[in-house]
Amino acid sequence: MADHFADRLLAAIERKRSPVCVGLDPVVDRLPDELRRAAPLAGIETFCREVLQVVAPSVAAVKIQSAYFELHGAGGVDLYFRLVREARELGLIVIGDVKRGDIGSTAEAYAAGHLAGEDAPDAVTVNGYFGSDGVQPFVDAACANGRGVFILVRTSNPSAAALQDVTDTSGKKLFEHVADMVAALGADVTVGQRGYSCVGAVVGATWPDEARALRKIMDRQIFLVPGYGAQGATAADCAASFSSEGAGAIVNASRSVIYAFRDQRYADRPWRDAVGEAAREFAADLAAAVGL
């Protein structure tokens, strides 16, 4: 894992012509019928491993959502880390969606647990509410290990604006202050050969105007863009997070891909085929929107 995280991610996006990431959000009730009958974790494991295999040819990265594994206790956490390894062996960049955040030695412990060692993902998501001294340990651990972080700047949910739009007397909003912090943290570390930092940002696709403003503040950050598909954002909305050269961002979709077999459009297809086809369509939709 010696290469710079941003270089590895951008190379994977180019190689596959696929600026997208599929999110694993496994929920027992939504699994294919044949797997729902298995013991919860066994069904989830089989489902996730097969999803990884069918999406691997067409997507650059996967995002594994820790919450759905923590729900199953220690056994779920064990499976999370085994899937990280499985995804990496398939040549995928792996983002651990853990949204951790804390201060001082506690932040160091989280960073050591989630960004170091061979089982850790290539990058994790981090909540920056604490300010820079809370985020720095994650940045240090990531950059020391050829890994990355994506700091929450603008989340994709409806009530994001309630706090993130608090506006100071100069007209600057909270999420722009967070963006300044992220850009400054990113400037302190070596950027990769392609000009992007290992410190990235989460910017919801559901807020394209905000994304355009953020692209100007954070010109060295890779944006991880949630909100496409099940949350309602289109490929055109997502395009606002990319640079003028169509780089610097990766769009995530979770439910609209991994549960595609529940969609009328794929009703007559075996579930694996539906997931694979949905991943290909998702990648093609985004590649076209950003001119890749």
Establish if 155 lies at the interface with a copy of itself (CB under 8 A). Answer: yes
Establish if 105 lies at the interface with a copy of itself (CB under 8 A). Answer: yes
State which residue, 38 or 116, has the beta carbon closest to a copy of itself.
Answer: 116
| Cα 182 to Cα 82: distance, rounded to the nearest angstrom | 30
Least CB distance to a copy of itself at residue 74 (A) = 4
State which residue, 164 or 197, has the beta carbon closest to a copy of itself.
Answer: 164
| Footprint on residues 188-247 left by a copy of itself (CB under 8 A) | none
User: Of 16, 63, 99, 173, which residue is the catalytic one?
Assistant: 99
Binding-site residue total for a copy of itself (CB under 8 A)?
A: 57
DSSP 116-142: SSTTS-SEEEE--TT-HHHHHHHHHHH
Question: Among the candidate windows 1-9, 173-181, 185-193, 284-292, which touches a copy of itself by CB under 8 A?
Answer: 173-181
Establish if 77 lies at the interface with a copy of itself (CB under 8 A). Answer: yes
Among 17, 49, 99, 194, binds a copy of itself (CB under 8 A): 99
Establish if 114 lies at the interface with a copy of itself (CB under 8 A). Answer: yes
What are the C-alpha distances in Å from 275 to residues 35, 47, 245, 253, 265? 15, 11, 29, 12, 12
Residue 211, by phi and psi: left (phi above 0), alpha (psi -120 to 50) or beta? alpha
Among 50, 81, 146, 280, binds a copy of itself (CB under 8 A): 81
Least CB distance to a copy of itself at residue 248 (A) = 23
DSSP 47-109: HHHHHHHHHTTT-SEEEEETHHHHTTHHHHHHHHHHHHHHHHHTT-EEEEEEEE---HHHHHH
| Cα 91 to Cα 114: distance, rounded to the nearest angstrom | 19
State which residue, 18 or 164, has the beta carbon closest to a copy of itself.
Answer: 164
How crowded is residue 284: how many other Cβ atoms within 10 Å of its Cβ? 16
| Cα 228 to Cα 231: distance, rounded to the nearest angstrom | 6
Residue 99 catalytic? yes
Give the CB-side neighbour count of residue 196, counting CA atoms within 13 A: 28
Establish if 42 lies at the interface with a copy of itself (CB under 8 A). Answer: no
State which residue, 159 or 244, has the beta carbon closest to a copy of itself.
Answer: 159
Question: Among the candidate windows 53-61, 110-118, 237-245, 256-264, which touches a copy of itself by CB under 8 A?
Answer: 110-118
State which residue, 167 or 193, has the beta carbon closest to a copy of itself.
Answer: 167
Instruction: Decide the pairing of beta strands 93-100 and 223-225.
Output: unpaired
Spatial contact of 145 and 119, defined as CB atoms under 8 Å apart: no
Establish if 169 lies at the interface with a copy of itself (CB under 8 A). Answer: yes
Summarize as ranges the residues that interact with a copy of itself (CB under 8 A). Answer: 25, 27, 65, 67-68, 70-78, 81, 99-107, 109-110, 112-114, 119, 127-134, 152, 155-164, 166-169, 174, 177-178, 181
